[in-house]
Every structure is written in C-alpha cells, then in structure tokens.
Chains A and B, each alone.
Chain A
Amino acid sequence: MPHYALTIIGRDRPGIVTEVTEILFKLGCNIADSSSTLLGGQYAMIQIISHPSIDSTEELAAAFAPLEASGLSAFVRRIEPEKLQKQSIGGEIYMISVYGSDKPGIVYRVAKELSERQVNITDLNTKLVGSEARPVYVMMLEAVLPESIDEAELTRVLMALQGELQVDITIRSITPVEL
C-alpha cells in the first residue's frame, strides 16, 4: 500500500484538524502515525498516511490544494516501501535537558556532539521562555545511545559542553523496564 508523509502548517484557529481529516476521510486515507502541535502560533501537523490505491504524489497533493485558500500550506512526500519498515531502535534511552540564557548555537552544538557519536535523537522540543529582557532557552530531547557509548561517556561529553556554553544540562535514563 502506498504511504506518504503529509505536512500541514498554518496560522492556528479552530477547525484545522477537521478540514484536513475530512479530506483524508473522503479520499479513504488511513493515518498510520501522526503528531501535531502548536508552534509559535502556527499549527503544524505531520502525518504518515496510506491509501489502498492512490499511487501518485501529484494526485494526492491535488486533494490538499484547496487548503491553501484557508491559509494552510500542505506538502506531500511519497515514502518508498523499502524505507517504510520500522527500524528497531535498540539501546538505552536518555532524556537530555538543556537550559540557559539564550544564545546562538545551543541546539546545533548539542546535536553535533551527539551525532558525532552516533547517538540518535528520537524526540526534540525547544522553547524560548523567560522574559524579553532575560530570555531563557529550554531544550528537551530523547536520544538512544549506541553500544559504543555509555552513560558515563555521554555525561562527560555533555558536562564539557555545559561549561563551554554556560548552560545547564541534565541527563537521565528513561529506558523502560521490560516486564
């Protein structure tokens, strides 16, 4: 069955989910996986959808084109079947919190240290909080450690970064216990 990634974004207001899912329902699409949230006043939806017969990105995208008139941008991307298989994400899972006074490069520097060690980020949220005069940047991410790096090494790496960036970083295991 052809699968597609559908991204919708637009200024938030009541009714966006209804408008989008009405199109999906009438087309006969199935929502396999989705996440939607409000970011800076924009409502952003990301969905993995499938359809038993529509086998053309253009045909599917055309169905969402009318959303433009109500201020929503839609983007459709086909997912090749061989890339659809869920990869099993093995390894210890950690929650990493980073916060401190806002400055350029916090996300990039943390992500770079992680990717250089093949640590896979599986969830990431950032927010600017605090006052206008003293903005505070908060980032929370979930990451899966490969076997080549353990908690002690991850802590060492991030503590070095903590000193360099002058932010606070905490790490805690959130690996579920398998019962």
Chain B
Amino acid sequence: MAICEILIYPDERLKTVCAPVATLDATVDALIQNLVDTMLASGHSVGVAAPQIGDLRRVAVVDVSRSKLGRDNHHGLLTMINPEIISRSGQKVMREGCMSVPDYTGNVTRSEEIVVEFRDRDGSERVIHATGFEAVAIQHELDHLDGFLFLDRVSSLKTDVFRRKG
C-alpha cells in the first residue's frame, strides 16, 4: 500500500490515547498494510504503532524475527488490533531507540514475559505469550497507543537517557 512518514516528537499525535477499533473494515486492513510497509521500509525497525504514522486507532505491528535479538524467539509478524496486555511478569532492561524520538536512546525496564490478547488482521481473537525481546518490542509499541514514549518510562535523565552520537 504505502510507506508512511514516521511522526517525530513533539508531534502531539504521539502523546494521544488512541481509540479502539470498533469494526474491522477495509480501512483497518489498509492501515495494517501501511504499518507493515513502513516497518519493512525502515530496515531496522521491529515494530510500528498507528499513531506513529498519524492514525489514532489502537493498531500496531511487531516483527522481531528479522533481528538478531529476536530471531530465535518470536511469533513472526504480529498484526494487533485493540491489543491488551492481560498478564505480565519479570523484569528486563534494554536500551531502546524509537523512530519517533530519533536523537536519543534510553534504558527502559519492562516486563520480561507478557500475555497479549488482540484481534488479528483476519478478525480472529488471539492470545499469545511473548518473552524477551519480542515482549519488550510489543510493550514499546503498545505504549504508543496510550501516548507513552520510552522517555516516559526511564527512571533518570542522568543515567538512563543517552544522546545518539554523530
């Protein structure tokens, strides 16, 4: 469909709580395709959430299978409509970078394991148990649906936020 421009903070759409998808229609399918195309086009991205391309609906895609950290533990391409984390455990810290906050990276503590419930692209209800990097990526993308960036999750500007060098 289309590779979309990624919105960059301080675009206020990135700080908006997105609305649930009411009915699965062609516009939702088109949105998912745009998210997948945009994710693939960026090369290194493992996920994109709808608000990052300016669509304020609760839709996100994640695919860690192409990355070194995720290739041995993943569910392939996840296309998630109205996703909810229904259970979480453990802790894992990773230094996260986000296409919408390009100049900085940050150490974020997230749940090591999560159970996520969502409606898939074909309309089916799915519940998956994700761990490790895939779990971190899902939590990062789902945060976008609530208007949270990784900067909202770091505990210290002094020790957890890093400027990208260049």
How many residues of A sit at the interface, in one of the four size bands? 10 to 19
Do B166 and A89 touch across chains, with their CB atoms under 8 A apart?
yes
Do A176 and B140 touch across chains, with their CB atoms under 8 A apart?
no
How many A-B pairs have beta carbons closer than 8 Å: the answer is: 44
B17 within 8 A of A: no
Q: Which residues of A contact B137 (CB under 8 A)?
A: 177, 179
A68 to chain B, nearest CB (A): 31
Do A177 and B133 touch across chains, with their CB atoms under 8 A apart?
yes
Q: Which residues of B contact A116 (CB under 8 A)?
A: none
Q: Which residues of A contact B47 (CB under 8 A)?
A: 179
Which residue of the partner chain, among B96, B99, B141, B166, contacts A177 with CB atoms under 8 Å?
B96
B96 to chain A, nearest CB (A): 6
Do B165 and A177 touch across chains, with their CB atoms under 8 A apart?
no
* CB-CB contacts below 8 Å: B110-166 with A: 133, 136-137, 140-141, 150, 162, 165-166
User: Taking chain B's interface residues, is the majority helix, strand, or loop, or is none over half, making it mixed?
Assistant: mixed
B69 within 8 A of A: yes
CA–CA, A148 to B31, complex, Å?
Answer: 40
B105 within 8 A of A: yes
Chain A's closest residue to B105 (CB) is: A176
Chain B's closest residue to A33 (CB) is: B163
Beyond A177-B133, A178-B45, A179-B137, whether A86 also contacts B166 by CB under 8 A is yes
A63 within 8 A of B: no
Which residue of the partner chain, among A88, A142, A175, A178, contacts B99 with CB atoms under 8 Å?
A178
- How many residues of chain B get a CB closer than 8 Å to chain A's CBs? 22
CA–CA, A89 to B95, complex, Å?
Answer: 17
Q: Which residues of B contact A175 (CB under 8 A)?
A: 95
Q: Which residues of B contact A174 (CB under 8 A)?
A: 95
B8 within 8 A of A: no
A82 within 8 A of B: no
Chain A's closest residue to B150 (CB) is: A179
CA–CA, A175 to B96, complex, Å?
Answer: 9
Please encode chain A, from 155 to 179, with 1 for each CB lying within 8 Å of some chain B CB and 0 for all others: 0000000000000000000111111
Additional pairs, 16, CB under 8 Å, beyond known A177-B97, A179-B46: A87-B166, A89-B165, A122-B165, A142-B165, A174-B95, A176-B95, A176-B105, A177-B67, A177-B95, A177-B133, A178-B98, A178-B99, A179-B45, A179-B98, A179-B136, A179-B137
Question: Which residues of B are at the interface with A, using a C-beta cutoff of 8 A?
Answer: 44-47, 67, 69, 94-99, 105, 133, 136-137, 140-141, 150, 162, 165-166
Question: Which residues of A are at the interface with B, using a C-beta cutoff of 8 A?
Answer: 86-89, 122-123, 142, 174-179
13 contacts between A and B (CB under 8 A): A87-B166, A89-B166, A175-B95, A176-B94, A176-B95, A176-B97, A177-B69, A177-B96, A178-B97, A179-B47, A179-B99, A179-B140, A179-B141
